[in-house]
Each structure stands twice: as structure tokens, then as C-alpha cells.
Amino acid sequence: MSLSSEVESNSFRTFTLFIFAVLIIFGLVVSIFSSKYRVSVINYDNGLDLNYEGLKEVENLSIWLVNDDNFEKFYFDNQNVENLEISKQLPNVINININLYQKIVVYTDFRDSSPEQRVLYKNLYSTVSVSEEDLAHLVITNGPIDDGFYNEIVSFILTVGKYKIDLSNISMTFDGDTLVVKYLDTIIEAGKASDLSKKGSVVGYILENDDCKGSVKILESSDEDIETLFNC
């Protein structure tokens, strides 16, 4: 092949690729702005106790542009929502699966002038409990409580929940100094509301083995191991 023929061949391939790329871009632009590919149907579970107004933010938006960033209002209005799983059904349907944060505990703070039963979520968001929840229960009788108190409670329940026990049978009382855990015939004095993840491993082990029908006291210790006193 002569040099001129090779140059012509390369030029033709370059021109062909350029035209192909232009056609693809043109097709994408047409699709983005086409009324055919604008969201008109949004499928989701409306049986949850949520404010769904924020989901309407994507109505009439190009289906190609829809992503999680379009639902900031929905997340703001529903702080117990962990994430949305979004799938697209061309040309105009969006399917949304709503995942909520895990509910951790039902608690009542009797330090308030009008105490009410609330649900604490894994992300520390709380809301009024409208019914008896199948969860562990916590009563706060006195204070003050540290800023990280609820975070410690979440860590404690998540740790205990790894063991084979029914969390709904757990009731806890905090008097501003000591956390007391009751489970069926076992009472555990867990001490201060600190290192509750580590203490939760001890509590979970004791309750799962179900070998103490009495009281257990967890001693405060700076060591890695936690000492316990049994009165079973």
C-alpha cells in the first residue's frame, strides 16, 4: 500500500469514528430532552409512615438524569430513611425501594415534664412511638446523661443482638449513674453508660447461656477484660 493510500485509509477511519461518536452524542442528547423519557410514574411502598412529598422532585425529569441526589428533600423530611434503591424502567417509570435505619430501642425519659415513649434509630434519630414496639425498652429516671449516651445504647443493643436472645425481653433502667439490664429472671448491673459495646458482649454471653437466674454485677475496669460478680 502506498503512503498516500495509507493516509487516506487512516483519514477515512478517523472520519468514520468521528461520525459514529457524533451520532451517539446526538442520540443521547435527543433522549435526555425527549418527552418520551421523562418520569411520569414513580413506584414505591406507600405503607410506611413517611412523608412522600420529596419523591415528586423527579416528576417530569429526564429518566437518564435521575439519581440519589434528586431526593435531598425526601431524606430531609424522613431522617429515619437510610437509603433509596432506584431502578429505571424505560421509558418513563422509576421504581424506588426505601430502606429504613434499624430501630434500636423504645425509651422514655422521665426527666421531661411530659414524658413520652420514643423510638431510637441506629442513626440516633428518634420519633414518638405510636404503638408497643417489639424492641428492647429503656427508662431514664434521672440525669444528667452524657452527650454520647444514646450512641452507647445503640452500640450496646447491636452487640447484644448478635447473641441468640429475644431483645424484646430486655428492659433497661438508667438513673443518671448506673445502667441496669433485666432479662427474664436475670438482672445485670452494667455500671456507667460507657464501654457499652464491650459490656454488651458480656451481657449477651450471659443471657444466651441462660445459666444465671439471679443478679450479675459488671465491675468497672480499665483492663481489656471485664470482671463480673455473680449471685445466681
171-201: pLDDT as tens digits = 999 999 999 999 999 999 999 999 999 999 9
* DSSP characters over 25-91: HHHHHHHHH-GGGB--EEE--TTSSS--GGGGGGTTSBGGG--GGGGHHHHHH-TTEEEEEEEEETT
Residues 210, 171: Cα–Cα separation, whole Å: 16
What average pLDDT does the structure give for the chain?
87
> Are residues 156 and 178 located together in one domain of the fold?
yes
> Are residues 51 and 124 located together in one domain of the fold?
no
Last residue of a domain, one of 83, 100, 117: 100
> Are residues 130 and 198 located together in one domain of the fold?
yes
Last residue of a domain, one of 70, 100, 130: 100
Give the pLDDT confidence score for residue 205 in this predicted structure.
93
CATH of the domain at 210: 3.40.50
> Are residues 126 and 197 located together in one domain of the fold?
yes
Name the DSSP letter for residue 116. -
Cβ contact 134:146 at 8 Å: no
What is the total count of domains within the chain? 3
> Are residues 14 and 118 located together in one domain of the fold?
no
Q: What percent of the chain has pLDDT over 90?
A: 69
> Are residues 168 and 213 located together in one domain of the fold?
yes
Q: Quick check: 14 pLDDT over 80?
A: no
> Are residues 176 and 93 located together in one domain of the fold?
no
Q: What is the pLDDT of residues 35-67, one digit of tens each?
A: 788 999 999 999 999 999 999 999 999 999 999
> Are residues 205 and 126 located together in one domain of the fold?
yes
Last residue of a domain, one of 68, 100, 132: 100
> Are residues 119 and 25 located together in one domain of the fold?
no
User: How buried is 47 (Cβ within 10 angstroms: 0-12 exposed, 13-18 middle, 19+ buried)?
Assistant: exposed
| Range(s) of the domain holding residue 223 | 103-231
> Are residues 93 and 115 located together in one domain of the fold?
no
> Are residues 18 and 50 located together in one domain of the fold?
no
> Are residues 26 and 72 located together in one domain of the fold?
no
Q: What is the pLDDT of residues 102-157, one digit of tens each?
A: 999 999 999 988 899 999 999 999 999 877 678 999 999 998 899 999 999 999 99
- Give the SS3 label for residue 219: coil
Q: Quick check: 213 pLDDT over 80?
A: yes
CATH of the domain at 67: 3.10.20
